[in-house]
Structure formats: C-alpha cells, structure tokens
Amino acid sequence: MSVYVPTTTVRIERGEQLDSFGDPVDLPLVHSTGQPVAITEQRQRRFNPAEQRTTLVEEYRIRFRPGVGVREEDRLVDERTGVVYQVKDVHHPPAVGGKADVRVRAVKVGAVSVP
C-alpha cells in the first residue's frame, strides 16, 4: 500500500557503451516512462578527512510505487524539470500488509554524456 503523494514523474534510463577512447558513456535507453515518484532532498554535513574540512553532502530519497523495476546505476530523469538523478541504492522494505513502496537513494547528476 502506497503511503506517499507523488510530486512528479520520472523516466527510467539505463545502459552504457564505450566511446572511441574506451571510456563508458551513457546510452539514453528508456526502460519506462511516466513513473509517479516523491522526491525529497536530504543534506548532511560530513567531515572529509582527506581535505580536513566539513563538506555538505546532498542526497535524494525517491519513492516509487510497489513493483517498479528500478536498479542501481539507473538514471532517473524528472519529466517536469529535466533533472537527472543517478540511483545509488534500491531498497524493498518488508510490507506489513500488501506491498511496500520501492525506496531509492540517489544523487543529482550535473550532466549526462552522449555517445
């Protein structure tokens, strides 16, 4: 049973190939479109020992309806704003009755490479 209110819809993209230099580039292969989601931003201050300073880390929690086929490393494109998110973790929590929402931890991507 879903207990969230969707704030936008996303397109799920996956796939990559190697360019002429042997570097991986994203392929805009669409897995599904029009998936209703709720996106919330979470900011935390974390100490980075390598830089000897505190830095601000932004992560996004994205909730899908039950049964959506989203995987780690998928790209989620917000169909309203065009913002691209990279999926880092996918969590399927146990349900106490019915099915539970799919929960994703993601980061915002500045640009997506094109082959």
Q: CA-to-CA distance for 35 and 68, rounded, in angstroms?
A: 8
Each residue's pLDDT tens digit, 38-74: 999 998 888 888 888 988 888 999 999 988 889 998 9
Token duo for residue 85: 């998110």
Confidence of residue 115 (pLDDT cuts 50, 70, 90): very low
**Residue 114 has what pLDDT?**
52
Range 93-96, long-range pairs (CB < 8 A, 24+ positions): 95/1, 95/66
Instruction: Write the CATH number of the domain with boundaries 8-109.
Output: 2.40.10
Q: CA-to-CA distance for 24 and 3, rounded, in angstroms?
A: 38
pTM of the model: 0.79
Q: What are the residues whose beta carbons fall under 8 Å from the beta carbon of 80, sequence distance 6 or more? A: 8, 9
